[in-house]
């Protein structure tokens, strides 16, 4: 038998085995038991939270010959046929690669026919937000007048990109991120089933890395156990993932706060000697400071926010330099010498010699020149890319210039003069960022720290040069948080738009050209 990946091998077969989504599964089971099956559902949430698994269980449960308490038996002929993919009445479609209007028209032609061996014909459409505008319009026609024996389950990680006309005709279920403890328990179950010994600390760290996604947790676990002979150890996980021991991160964080720059430099050198990614180090240190910020008192918050702000900006510079260790050392020494941490005599701790300072300043100066040259080069590339895209756009006709829910379509170019003329700097930017902190949204704040905020008509536009920050901000959860906090204090806003600075634009031109050819006009910046 061919090898089966862990996430497929241990995919939930019942609602009960779906971890961390009890509220969703309970409602679905109640609908099945009562026979009140809707014609269309939307399952939204982060990747790896069980959306597709729940859809497959639901498809079997509503067609099962012998359901028990809303659960499929997985033993009857119908359940087995669905499990083995031997029926044409349960269709799975990936909208990322089947997003054209022709694909939806094919479904419209099929739904008029009676089912063969099941009660309901079920269409499971993954990543439904990737459908083109024309495809959504075609799907809307079917949802408006659905056949009695057809059920649509639309799964998405970006619900805000789905037209409101579609949303209003579906029952919506939000799949939350799975807790570390639930992921850890599931991973331990898998390890026991696979007869693999393990250290509890190792499994706990994998659960943390999974970031609320069970599939990601199982994928990381699979990578780790493939290189383990007898026992899965914490050190094995660190080496395979390329992460740095949390104890070392804690030491660096404490040394920065205590102005112990000598220890910080020693720890950075030891990490570099092991071949670890220094950008990964900076990200883990940032996370460590964020954790301290959550537990800090009001007197400490200001200095911790300053550190987070500098670490966030440093992340972007580390991508541009060819000598990250020098840049990292210089910035961490600067953090140690910030005028907010004094010794017992009220004097700033100074443990770096004058000669070392002069040497570092020279190296910093050279690095700054290097980074500026790199930025200019990237800006020139971006300018050339904009010219290419403009030519492509001029050749295309009849494209809808708005996305599906009324967001003004945003091109990647934040330096476009026509667009920028409409941007007005949001004067209360700092006040807003402080409000984000006060609401306890630390992750969102750290991503906003180095970003700029603007108003464009009734839209809030946030522009960042940090690709990691862009990824964090451009999620349903972050967008909802920003919009809610903004409207509580500053009034209504139509949309929140996140842009990545145009310096990375040249890398994404082929994608834009492809989408223009296919007629898919929603090409918001993707990291």
Q: End of a domain among 175, 201, 217?
A: 175
Domain co-membership, 305 together with 269: yes
- Cα separation of 93 and 270, whole Å? 49
Is residue 74, in this structure, part of any structural domain at all?
yes
Is residue 460, in this structure, part of any structural domain at all?
yes
Q: End of a domain among 118, 140, 175?
A: 175
The predicted structure's pLDDT at residue 521: 37
- Cα separation of 242 and 402, whole Å? 42
Is residue 247 packed enough to be buried (19+ CB in 10 Å), middle (13-18) or exposed (0-12)? exposed
Domain co-membership, 160 together with 15: yes
| CB 501, CB 414: distance < 8 Å | yes
Identify how many contiguous H helices and E strands the chain contains and give both numbers. Answer: 23, 11
- Cα separation of 180 and 115, whole Å? 42
CA angle 445, 427, 505 (to 5 degrees): 60
Per DSSP (E only), the strands in 359-443 are 424-425
| CB 468, CB 480: distance < 8 Å | no
Domain co-membership, 21 together with 118: yes
Domain co-membership, 171 together with 192: no
DSSP class per residue in 292-352: HHHH--HHHHHHHHHHHHHHHHHHHHHHH-S-HHHHHHHHHHHHHTSTT-B-TTSSB---S
| CA distance from start to end of the chain | 38
pTM passes above 0.85: no
Domain co-membership, 28 together with 145: yes
Residue recorded with tokens 């990578």: 223
Cβ atoms within 10 Å of 53's Cβ, excluding its own: 24
Q: What is the gyration radius of the CA atoms in the chain, in angstroms?
A: 26
- Secondary structure percentages of the chain, helix, strand, coil, to 5: 55, 10, 35
**CATH code (residue 129):** 3.40.50.300
Its domain, for residue 510, covers: 405-518
Domain co-membership, 469 together with 343: no
Is residue 383, in this structure, part of any structural domain at all?
no
Is residue 297, in this structure, part of any structural domain at all?
yes
Is residue 387, in this structure, part of any structural domain at all?
no
Domain count, the chain: 4
| CB 333, CB 356: distance < 8 Å | no
Q: End of a domain among 119, 150, 175?
A: 175
- Cα separation of 131 and 404, whole Å? 10
Domain co-membership, 121 together with 213: no
- Cα separation of 409 and 487, whole Å? 22
Domain co-membership, 154 together with 209: no
Domain co-membership, 47 together with 114: yes
The predicted structure's pLDDT at residue 526: 34
Domain co-membership, 459 together with 475: yes
The predicted structure's pLDDT at residue 386: 55
| Residue 203 tokens, joined | 């499994």
- Cα separation of 61 and 70, whole Å? 7
Domain co-membership, 331 together with 215: no
Report in angstroms the alpha-carbon separations of 80 from 14, 74, 86, 123: 13, 6, 8, 18
From first to last of the 527 residues of the chain, give the pLDDT tens digit: 577 888 888 899 999 999 999 999 999 999 999 989 999 999 999 989 999 999 999 999 999 999 999 999 999 999 999 998 888 889 999 988 888 888 888 888 888 888 888 899 999 999 999 999 889 998 998 898 888 889 999 999 999 999 999 999 999 999 999 999 999 999 999 999 988 999 999 999 999 888 889 999 999 999 888 877 788 888 888 888 888 888 888 888 888 888 888 888 888 888 888 888 888 888 888 888 888 887 777 777 777 888 888 888 887 788 777 778 888 888 888 888 764 444 434 344 444 555 555 566 556 666 666 666 666 666 666 566 555 555 554 544 444 433 333 333 333 344 444 445 578 888 888 888 888 877 778 778 878 887 889 988 888 999 988 777 888 888 888 898 998 888 888 888 888 999 887 543 333 333 333 333 344 434 333 33
- Cα separation of 286 and 443, whole Å? 10
Is residue 167 packed enough to be buried (19+ CB in 10 Å), middle (13-18) or exposed (0-12)? middle
- Cα separation of 324 and 46, whole Å? 32
| CB 452, CB 463: distance < 8 Å | yes
**CATH code (residue 463):** 3.30.300.180
Is residue 448, in this structure, part of any structural domain at all?
yes
Residues forming beta bridges with residue 41, ordered by sequence position: 153, 171
Q: For residue 210, how many C-alpha atoms fall within 13 Å in the half-sphere facing its CB?
A: 32
Is residue 263, in this structure, part of any structural domain at all?
yes
Give the H/E segment covering residue 424. strand 424-425
Domain co-membership, 233 together with 272: no
Parallel, antiparallel, or unpaired for β 231-232 and 150-156?
unpaired
The predicted structure's pLDDT at residue 524: 37
The predicted structure's pLDDT at residue 359: 61
Is residue 494, in this structure, part of any structural domain at all?
yes
Q: What is the 3-state secondary structure (H, E, C) of 21-58?
A: CHHHHHHHHHHHHHCCCCCEEEEEECCCCCHHHHHHHH
Cβ atoms within 10 Å of 130's Cβ, excluding its own: 19
């Amino acid at each position: 038998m061919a090898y089966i990946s862990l996430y497929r091998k241990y995919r939930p077969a019942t609602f009960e085995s779906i971890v961390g989504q009890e509220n969703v599964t309970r409602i679905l089971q109640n609908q099945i038991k009562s026979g009140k099956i809707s014609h269309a559902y939307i399952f939204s949430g982060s990747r790896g939270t069980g959306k597709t698994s729940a859809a497959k269980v639901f498809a079997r449960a509503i067609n099962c010959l012998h359901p028990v308490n809303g659960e499929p038996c997985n033993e009857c002929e119908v359940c087995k046929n669905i499990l083995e993919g031997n029926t044409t009445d349960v269709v799975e479609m990936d909208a990322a690669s089947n997003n054209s209007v022709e694909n939806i028209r094919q479904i419209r032609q099929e739904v008029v026919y009676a089912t063969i061996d099941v009660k309901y014909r079920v269409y499971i459409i993954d990543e439904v937000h990737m459908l083109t505008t024309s495809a959504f319009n075609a799907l809307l026609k079917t949802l408006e007048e659905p056949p009695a024996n057809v059920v649509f389950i639309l799964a998405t990680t970006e619900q805000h990109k789905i037209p409101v006309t579609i949303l209003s005709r579906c029952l919506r279920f939000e799949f939350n991120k799975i807790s570390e403890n639930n992921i850890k328990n599931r991973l331990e179950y898998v390890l026991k089933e696979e007869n693999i010994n393990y250290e509890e600390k190792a499994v706990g760290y994998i659960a943390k890395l999974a970031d609320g996604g069970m599939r990601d947790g199982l994928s990381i676990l699979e990578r780790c156990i493939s290189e383990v002979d007898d026992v899965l150890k914490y050190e094995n996980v660190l080496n395979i993932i390329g992460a740095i021991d949390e104890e070392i991160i804690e030491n660096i964080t404490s040394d920065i706060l205590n102005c112990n720059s000598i220890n910080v430099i020693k720890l950075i050198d030891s990490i570099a000697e092991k071949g670890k990614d220094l950008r990964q180090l900076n990200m883990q240190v940032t996370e460590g400071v964020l954790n301290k910020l959550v537990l800090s008192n009001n007197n400490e918050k200001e200095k911790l926010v300053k550190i987070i702000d500098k670490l966030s900006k440093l992340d972007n510079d580390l991508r541009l330099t060819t000598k990250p260790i020098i840049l990292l050392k210089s910035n961490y020494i600067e953090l140690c010498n910030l005028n907010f941490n004094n010794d017992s005599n009220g004097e700033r701790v100074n443990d770096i010699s004058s000669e070392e300072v002069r040497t570092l300043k020279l190296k910093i100066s050279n690095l700054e020149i290097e980074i500026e040259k790199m930025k200019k080069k990237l800006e020139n590339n971006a300018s050339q890319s904009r010219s290419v895209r403009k030519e492509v756009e001029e050749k295309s006709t009849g494209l809808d210039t708005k996305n599906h829910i009324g967001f003004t379509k945003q091109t990647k170019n934040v330096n476009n003069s026509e667009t920028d003329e409409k941007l007005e700097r949001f004067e209360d930017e700092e006040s807003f960022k402080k409000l984000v902190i006060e609401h306890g949204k630390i992750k969102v704040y750290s991503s906003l720290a180095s970003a700029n905020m603007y108003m464009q008509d009734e839209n809030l536009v946030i522009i960042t040069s940090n690709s990691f920050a862009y990824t964090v901000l451009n999620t349903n959860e972050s967008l909802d948080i920003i919009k809610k906090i903004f409207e509580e204090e500053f009034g209504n806003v139509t949309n929140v738009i996140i842009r990545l600075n145009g310096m990375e634009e040249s890398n994404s031109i082929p994608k834009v050209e492809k989408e223009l050819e296919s007629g898919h006009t929603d090409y918001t910046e993707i990291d």
